[in-house]
Amino acid sequence: MERISWNQYFIAQSYLLKSRSTCERLAVGAVIVRDKRMIAGGYNGSVSGGVHCVDDGCYVIDGHCVRTIHAEMNALLQCAKFGVATEQAEIYVSHFPCLHCTKAIIQAGIKAVYYSEDYRNHPYAIELLTQAGVEIHKVDRDEKLIDPQKMEKEQLVAQLIHKLEQGGHNPEELGELKQKAGDLFKVNHNQRS
């Protein structure tokens, strides 16, 4: 059995945390790590006890949901709340941090940012991280390590869709199924048929 790397392990944790997000626009998860130990985690959502976007919709002003606290901030605030030092720690985030979170990460003494998905990577955020000597690493999430049967699941779905195509089913419905399968597995099933 192949052991998952530390980077894959902690990125996977950020994705697990993002599954708790209450934001309808983009789910994000973050985990702060020191000495290969998770010291805090966060996801984007409303303030404790507040109304959640999934319940009442996003509260958008100037293109941003002001109801949501970002995952990175929630993780940093968790450290502050419980007196856990972040100096020389690392943060693993499902998506590249926004400019405001970048500044908080730098101020908290985080030494490295690991992220999986590009998301509005602000040039000034990159500049600030570089100036502060914070390492930036993009980690490609390897689903096969997290879900060893992923490939078999993808193949089964592709085979089922192919069978439906051969059966003369409604092309519009098949197109919707292909899109859903593609979104689920992030693959293009037209290439597999």
Active-site position among 2, 24, 72, 176 = 72
The verdict on whether 152 is a catalytic residue reads no
- Rounded Cα–Cα distance for residues 51 and 24 (Å): 13
Which helix (H) or strand (E) is 102 found in, with range?
helix 99-107
**DSSP annotation of 92:** E
Among candidate residues 26, 116, 115, the one with its CA nearest the CA of residue 70 = 26
Among candidate residues 1, 88, 82, 78, the one with its CA nearest the CA of residue 36 = 88
Name every residue whose Cβ is closer than 8 Å to that of residue 6 and which is 6 or more positions away in sequence. 36
- Rounded Cα–Cα distance for residues 96 and 103 (Å): 13
Catalytic residue numbers read: 72
